[in-house]
Amino acid sequence: MLQISFSTQVESTAGALAILVPEGDAHPTVFQNFDAATQGALSRAAKAEGFKGKGGTSCVVLAPSDSFERIVLVGIGKAGDVDAWVAEKAGGLAASLLARAPKAAVAVGDLSGALAAHVALGAVLGAYHFGLYQTKKEDDKKHQLAELSVLGAHVGAAEELWPSLQAVARGVVLTRDLVSEPANVLNPVEFAERATTLRAHGLEVEVLDVAAMTELGFGALLGVAQGSANEPRTVVMRWNGGKEGDAPVAFIGKGVTFDSGGISIKPAAGMEDMKWDMAGAATVTGLMASLALRKAPVNAVGVVGLVENMVSGTAQRPGDVVRSASGQTIEVLNTDAEGRLVLADVLWYARDRFAPRLMVDLATLTGAIIVGLGHEYAGLFSNDDDLAVGLADAGAFTGEKLWRMPLGKEYDALLKSDIADMQNISGGRAGGSITAAQFLKRFVGETPWAHLDIAGVAWASKAKNGQPKGATGFGVRLLDRFVRNGFEQG
């Protein structure tokens, strides 16, 4: 992970420099100083490129002096509109443009210490690269940035806030690493093993194997897993940072480490993407790591159901009926609607065992949510208005945006089965993400609950706004902010 330091002046060993520039003709002092030092190279380049400091724009000046191999101008928009999310995007863009320099600096001018720390957070995430399986040295040259110094006027305040944000960055990186792993490496057992390493940070981690889940009656989850040679697992992670005896906040993740669709098999084209059908579980794992690393004063529990959905002679068949941990029976009409079966048992288990004050589940659950919201928003479904508002506010702060979708008794009729308590699909194309959420609602009782359908935002097909191509880690920052805003004590 990118190493961050804070300073009031650039070190002579920095090979490249980024300068954050607000929109307008009046350039900040740091721009003027380096422009003078480079004999006007910055102002000439900005004029030639039409760079005015508009948010999300940049201008690269190559070899402006003997001291720097490049200076990058990064626009942050109007100075008065710069918030944490804008600062993070600018930091991410700067880091991506400085990627070929092993050591670099970013000048944030008069931004507050808090905003400088958020620039650093964005830079860490913008510099992320999953290169574990690349052996060619040419690939390494594209991602050399290892150390970044953040230059600003409020170093003390930035340094004070940074450890907390660094913990969040580590959680996001963990989530991205998990989502990026190929399914032949990260099967359910391996995922569970990696979760146990978080005990070193103070998390209590418990792993439920097949025998334990069978005893608990996890018929829905085990039905999904029965076609795979890789055994399923459920992992329980607990962080006890709040008052003893206080009910925890609970986070639930769908962890299908590979989804072939089962006997209702998916088309071959694009099936490789189904290695990241465990992004919900990865987000919960990254979030729990973040809470532990920053010693969050809250009681929290994360529960992830880990399965592989495969085709074999033992695979679940369309038309099978399974009994969930809640006792409710489910007719499985489509084995590719498996995530809701996994969550049915895990949601019920979390509710029954921990009696949480609220539950939030995350899942790459439906393609329908992508049809409705594209790749800009995750779908938010909830049985509690206050919870929905809290999550939406946290999403707005972090830039991980949510759009609330409806629930209603009218949709329940679409899940009626002729031979069981319910069926796992509606049987039609209309409202697919809504009926999926309506299915999940049957397993949460009266507990305040929200479901985040992250199918459209867990993976980026191309880089943008400081977000590298690939796993996004969506949800870690959002839920960390949600916890900070409403549930931390002291």
Give the strands of the sheet with 320-323, arranged side by side. Answer: 320-323, 329-332, 422-423
| Cβ–Cβ under 8 Å, residues 213 and 234 | yes
For residues 364 and 337, what is the distance between their CA atoms, to the nearest angstrom?
Answer: 11
Catalytic residue from among 44, 266, 357, 401? 266
Tell me phi and psi for residue 35, to 5 degrees: -65, -40
**Helices in 181-241 by DSSP H: which ranges?**
188-196, 210-216, 219-225
Tokens of 452: 């985040």
Catalytic residue from among 340, 351, 442, 484? 340
Query: Does 275 qualify as catalytic in the annotation?
Result: no
Q: E strands within 364-453?
A: 378-382, 402-404, 422-423, 449-453
Give Cβ neighbours of residue 100 (< 8 Å, ≥ 6 apart): 16, 141, 142, 144, 145
Give me the DSSP letters along 214-230: HHHT-HHHHHHHTT-SS
454: left (phi over 0), alpha (psi -120 to 50) or beta: alpha
| Cβ–Cβ under 8 Å, residues 102 and 127 | no
Query: Does 266 qualify as catalytic in the annotation?
Result: yes
For residues 357 and 411, what is the distance between their CA atoms, to the nearest angstrom?
Answer: 26
**Enzyme catalytic residues:** 266, 340
